[in-house]
Amino acid sequence: MSQAPEPRKTLDPDQVAFWLARHPDFFVGREGLLQQLQVPHPHIEGAVSLLERLVIDLRQRAETAEGRLEHLLETARHNEAQYRRLRETLLALVEADTRDALAQALATQLSERFNTPAMALWCPATLSDSEPSPPQPPRHVLDQHAGARLAALLDGRTSRCAKLSVSDWKCLLPHVKAPRKAGSCAISRLSAGESMGYLLLASPDADQYRASMDTLFTEYLGDIVARLLIRLNPHE
């Protein structure tokens, strides 16, 4: 009685790939084998030669690399434009010779260069007691009611983006006509060794300042404004 034939052994694909990776010179002298190999086409039915598949893969890699390069260039162009806008803004702020001029320059720069529809600068009364005339919008004297609303919007943080209700708009931006529905805002606490008030950027667009947005720009601008307010102290 004859014995049953042993089951046919097949090579494990991973073992083949591992072996070929360890022997990259396997196809040296076997170029004809390379031409006989057929692999699936990545986009259509059927097979192509290994060399054609390599050309397709290389083309796809080149297109991907080109896309990444274009993204990097676009990011670089955006960052350069942001830097130029910020530079011009800071130069305009430094040139202001009064606190009202500082607030006006800030409002103009933010509107023209950063698409900011409205802003307000709220400062404690101690910063304006000795000034010859009351602060002019967009600068306001920080009273108890406005301070409470601003603190509530910050919710214990140094800066934050949040929704801005119509009632809060009327309270915190009294010099700007309130929208019919809730907008959004970016708020930053001003501090330079002491409390200097609040900087509020606002928009009737509820999505312009989303809660998930980074507030680094607002914080940086607030730090600059706080120090300029000290420099423009009428006592000095």
Query: Which tokens sit at 68?
Result: 């990444």
- Contact between 177 and 122 under an 8 Å Cβ cutoff? The reply is no
Among the listed residues 97, 99, 132, 103, the one whose alpha carbon sits nearest the alpha carbon of residue 119: 103
**What are the C-alpha distances in Å from 118 to residues 99, 138, 178, 216?**
18, 9, 10, 19
What does the pLDDT look like over 18-30, one tens digit per residue? 887 888 787 677 7
Place of tokens 């900011």: 116
- Contact between 187 and 213 under an 8 Å Cβ cutoff? The reply is no
What is the pLDDT, as a whole number, of residue 52?
73
3-state secondary structure of 151: helix
β pairing state of 47-49 and 38-40 = antiparallel
Among the listed residues 65, 48, 57, 184, the one whose alpha carbon sits nearest the alpha carbon of residue 116: 184
Among the listed residues 210, 110, 220, 215, the one whose alpha carbon sits nearest the alpha carbon of residue 164: 210
Angle at 112 between CA 105 and CA 234, to 5 degrees: 5
- Contact between 187 and 159 under an 8 Å Cβ cutoff? The reply is yes
- Contact between 123 and 142 under an 8 Å Cβ cutoff? The reply is yes
What is the pLDDT, as a whole number, of residue 88?
96
Angle at 87 between CA 82 and CA 88, to 5 degrees: 105
What does the pLDDT look like over 161-181, one tens digit per residue? 999 999 999 999 999 999 999
Per-residue pLDDT of the chain (236 residues; tens, 9 = 90+): 555 556 566 778 888 778 878 887 876 777 667 666 666 666 666 655 666 767 777 888 898 999 999 999 998 998 899 899 999 999 999 999 999 999 999 999 999 999 999 999 999 977 555 666 788 999 999 999 999 999 999 999 999 999 999 999 999 999 999 999 999 999 999 998 888 999 999 999 999 999 999 999 999 999 999 999 998 876 54
CA distance 113 to 78: 13
**Residues contacting 105, CB < 8 A, separation 6+:** 92, 93, 95, 96
CA 192 from chain center: how many Å? 25
CA distance 74 to 53: 32
